[in-house]
Structures are given as C-alpha cells and as structure tokens.
Amino acid sequence: MEQRHLGRTGLRVSRIGLGTLTWGRSTDEHDAADMLKTFWEAGGTLVDTADVYGNGEAEYLLGRLMDGLVPRRDLIISTKAGSIPDPDRRVDGSRGHLLAALDASLARLGTDHVDLWHIHAYDPNTPLEETLQALDLAVSSGRARYTGVSAFCGWQLARAATWQLAAPGTRTRLAGTQMEYSLLQRGVEREVLPAALDLGIGLLPSSPLGRGVLTGKYRHSTPSDSRGACEHMAPFVEPYLDDTATRIVDAVSTAADGLAVTPLQVALAWIRDRPAVAAPIVGARNAQQLAAALSVETLSLPDEICRALDDVSAPVHRYPDHDWSTL
C-alpha cells in the first residue's frame, strides 16, 4: 500500500487507515485479529483508536494483538484522549486529565509510546494553551511521537496551530486533524480543509463511506445486519438517508457500474485523493468488509467522474464564502 506523509511532517502512514471504533463492542477478538492481519498483510500501517472506544476495550484488544499477531514496529498507532462519559461536560481538555489518559492508553496498548496522539475534541472550558501544553509534554517525554486534534472547526484548528508557532519553547506542531469527511459530508471544505492546507496539517477523514450509506446497501432497504438496523447505531446512520443522500448514492452507483467496480471503491477512492487527505479511516466490521475497502488501492478515478461526483455532492457555501459581491 502506498505510504503518505502526514501533513508537512516526516511521519508516513498508509493511505488507508484502520479504525477500531467497534472493537470490544460489536467486533470481538477473533474478527479484530482477522482484520488487523488482513490490514498488515496488505501493507497497511495506520491503526486509529481512542481511549473511549469500547470503554478502553479497543485499546486493550489492539495491545493484545500487537503482542502476538502483528509486530508493534510495523504499525503507526494513533489514539485519542479528551472525551469523557459525563453528559454534563463530555470533553475534558485539562492537562491533568489528558496526560493521565495518555498513561492509561499506553498501559492498555502495552507500549511505551504512541505514534500519533489526538485531542478528541475542543474543550471550551479549558484554556486552549493548557490543552496544547499537554501535547508538548507528551512529545518531550517520549510518550507520543506526533500530535493532532479531532473535531476542531476551522478557527479552532487555526488558533491551535498559530499558538504552537508563536509560543516560545514549543517542541511540537499539529501533524494531523481527524474530521468526518465524505461525499455525503463535505462541510470541512468550508474552513477546516483550507486551514489544514495552509498550515501543513494532514487530514484523516472519519466515516469516509458516509456511515456506510455510500456502499449502496441502503438504496432499497435496511439490511438486518447493518448499523442502520441496530437500535444503538440507527440514529448515527439516519441523517444520511434523505433525498439529497439518495441522489449522491445513485451517482456513485452509476459511476461504479461504468467502471466495473463497487460503489464502496468509488466513494473511497474519491475521498482518498482529495487535497490534504493523508488517509481515510475505514471502520470495517469484519475482514471481508476490510478487504473490500483495501481493494481500492489499485483504483484511480478518471477526472470526468471526479468532476461529476464533485458537482452532485457540492455543499452550499454562501456568505461570507461566496456571492459576497452581489449582496
């Protein structure tokens, strides 16, 4: 698998990443082992997890598999901290919480460092400089090699990167930012993507298949074994089952028919090759689904198909992004 630099750093990652959101919950150890081995044998390196996935079980499971199945040195381990199971707060970006969470992640993973450590979300109740100091301490102590953020909007990303550039003695710069991005969700193109390009920060799209909808499996009904049929996950899928999404999925399916490939391959190839994107994070439920995603490695979409998909999925950006001169 092709390896790409993450932003303007020396860190190279596989251009498809493996997500572990369901590990320790709906994905058991057997399926996780099959996926990790399939991913590794295909040349994949970037494995993304978080301290809250499965209440820590995803990290623990990944650590066990690295211990006996796939060599730690062959993987780029990315994890996140900051989300907390508190309905009144939900995010804790304090230095104390973040560093304690990192230590706990390392213990579960059975390693002395992670390759990439993300702040899971912006915390409006903690000074941003305190949160960023935790990133710097993680790198200077050797517990993280590179750092990033997740779910930061454009101004938050730009403010964080600018503070790092201006603060004396800061040893780390943001390498990546993780955001939902797909043909069904192009909101990051308004501010996050331009900021990432300008600042040299690599984009790691989550839900690159539109929460599974872009595979086409929901076109006629909801499969009984899908997330859309799961009581817990159905609200996650439902926003992408409207008329707008249907038009986009139909266009993806038409393109796939013309290329003699699958809708999954078309949607994943489109997002993989967008500006600033380093690696879409694919959250497969089993090795068969993962193998289908990894098959996109040999596919490059023709320019005319990319333009057609761009047009049918174009987000509406008005003032102040467009049409300001006519107001």
Annotated catalytic residues are: 53
Q: Do the Cβ atoms of 123 and 111 come closer than 8 Å?
A: no
Q: CA-CA distance, 267 to 253, in Å (whole number)?
A: 9
Q: CA-CA distance, 16 to 13, in Å (whole number)?
A: 8
For residue 17, the surrounding DSSP H or E stretch is strand 17-19
For residue 289, the surrounding DSSP H or E stretch is helix 287-294
Q: Do the Cβ atoms of 103 and 57 come closer than 8 Å?
A: no
Cα-Cα-Cα-Cα torsion 217, 305, 187, 89, nearest 10 degrees, comes to 40
Q: Please report, for residues 113, 123, 128, 322, the alpha-carbon distance to residue 109 in angstroms, rounded to integers and kept in the order given.
A: 9, 25, 27, 46
Q: Please report, for residues 43, 196, 219, the alpha-carbon distance to residue 4 in angstroms, rounded to integers and kept in the order given.
A: 12, 16, 34
Nearest to 43 by CA among 301, 300, 298: 298
Q: CA-CA distance, 230 to 253, in Å (whole number)?
A: 25
Nearest to 247 by CA among 219, 287, 217, 205: 219
Residue with tokens 């993507």: 193
- The DSSP letter of residue 277 is B
